[in-house]
Structure 1
């Protein structure tokens, strides 16, 4: 009987459940630029919602947002980086290699009030960079690119406060403290892209503190089965970054989106545009793909990223 019950629950989750309380998602990316080569990242995130999320209200991808579902999450991201570093003045050329591990926990809550629902979030992330050879770790030549791949540990904390000022329209402002410039927001990597996440942490820079602001809206298109979503974000640290995103939901299951990110930080790709497509095979299972092209105006480090992702809800 126990086996039959488990099989029945699994079948319901895979074929048509309209409510869920847990979501697990994974992502893998491959990227290449003129400095790095053979680089890839992998990430996984688990989210627990305190109440059942009704996924019948609109686009399946935005069910939690439309339900104003309070939750807690944990995430992990792994990156493998290799690069050919040259120091012409010393006639030195060597391949360097490093691995990066990022861990994060996050909580989001929506609190009803007499006026509007209030939104709050808090997150903590820790990144560890592990150099895989002596050249990378010791950086004997003082090359700036090598230093970025050296050993290191970094923490970052973030708080956000906001409100749902109109149906499905969130406005929030926040504060982020980064103890190390290369401490990444693991959740940003999953929701956007590894290059965009790196651009964001580079924008905050050595100031270690940043002010953030963002808006998000999802709404139905009248007289159709379609919906549209918009997001805008701002990061103000040592430099300034802004991001625009839009998704068109052709049906509750199928969507396609575009994004554009720009930063005044000159040491990484300064602009990035991306496209994505996502499809829910069932209300509980989704697959997707994304592509990002990042342009470095002040260097030759143009970057292209291709990724795939999947979600499972139960």
Structure 2
């Protein structure tokens, strides 16, 4: 019995201390507080398979896949409950996504394709049930080490079709802002950049991301993360849309910590300000990742 217990403990330590991984599972939950209801919430999960082992020793643990240019395939699911002025809606969003980094004799090329499907189930007569699909394609290149530039096209058959991966990456409030930006214009052009680099003479690194969505309206997003150590990061973000909606801006903050190279926990806060409106919204999120 003691030998079996020792073997199990050694196996667990080997998994949680691993410096390379091929699978990642992450979970997230957000509590939504708006003017008329402080009991709304979401829950999300994503699983990612990398076609080759990801080396987590190259820099910030949170960006190991990006730094390794690791091609992958992901599945995601998001559950949400929303209650406002008598509305009672349960929302389900499913998603699938593939990313590929392709070596060329010039610079590494990048491509991604994703699909999301949203089902909104109204629990009373104040709203009708609906559902919609979303397709997205991106093409880009790493124009410099760890610096990605990409442009894309998104087709949204129904504006309530949220991006399942945007919810997990940026939170439900910003995913809703992006959906309202596209709105009735079912086709949207997107662009984004991403960079991660070491801060010379330190053990720290910095990351930047920018994003643009051009649909019926225009939205842009900015995000930066400071990696105080390879395991610990703090970040800030801002998003704004030209759409005529009450909460047309959202800012946020986050902190993430890898307890081991294979286990991480984090927290986030987003404020989608709309003073005097029932949709004045704040969200608090908790997340966890496990790699093996």
Measure how far apart 1:301 and its partner are: 2.2
Partner of 1:22: 23
Say which one has the larger Rg: 1
Deviation of the 1:296 alpha carbon: 2.6
Aligned to 1:48: 49
Q: String of CA shifts for 1:238-272, please: whole Å, max 9, x gaps.
A: 00000000000000000000000000112251000
- For the structure 1 residues 178 and 4, does the alpha-carbon distance in structure 2 shift closer, same or farther, using more than 3 Å as the test? farther
Size of the aligned set, in residue pairs, is 290
Q: Is the 8 A contact 1:270 1:297 kept in 2?
A: no
Partner of 2:137: 159
Contact 2:22/2:291 (<8 A) preserved? yes
SS of 1:206's partner is coil
State the shift of 1:96 in Å: 2.3
Q: Select which of 83, 87, 90 maps to 1:99.
A: 90
Q: Give the TM-score taking structure 1 as reference length.
A: 0.89
**Following the alignment from structure 1 to structure 2, what is the Cα–Cα distance between the partners of residues 265 and 181?**
13
2:186 to 202, 208, 215: 208
Compute the displacement of 1:123 (Å).
0.2
Superposition deviation, residue 9 in structure 1: 3.5
Q: Structure 2 regions of 5+ residues with no counterpart?
A: none
SS at match of 1:63: helix
Matched, 1:136 2:163: no
* Shift in CA distance, 231/99, structure 1 to aligned 2, threshold 3 Å: same
Summarize the Cα distance change of 1:160–1:297 in structure 2 as closer, same or farther, 3 Å threshold: farther
Q: Given the alignment of the two structures, is residue 305 of structure 1 paired with residue 283 of structure 2, yes or no?
A: yes
- CA distance, structure 2, for counterparts of residue 35 and residue 210 of structure 1: 32
CA distance in 2, matches of 1:32, 1:236: 29
Q: Alignment partner for residue 246 of structure 1, among 212, 224, 231?
A: 224
Structure 1 match to 2:14: 12
Residue 4 (structure 1) shift: 7.6
Do residues 232 (structure 1) and 228 (structure 2) align? Answer: no
What RMSD over aligned residues (CA atoms) do the two structures have, in Å? 1.6
Other-structure match for 1:120: 111
Q: Deviations over 1:295-314 (max 9, x none)?
A: 23794521110010000000
Counterpart Cα distance in 2 of 1:124 and 1:6:
39
Residues 37 and 82, structure 1, Cα contact 8 Å, conserved in 2: no
For 2:65, the equivalent position in structure 1 comes to 64
2:246 and 2:209 mapped to 1: Cα distance?
23
What stretches of structure 1 of length at least 5 have no aligned partner? Answer: 85-94, 138-149
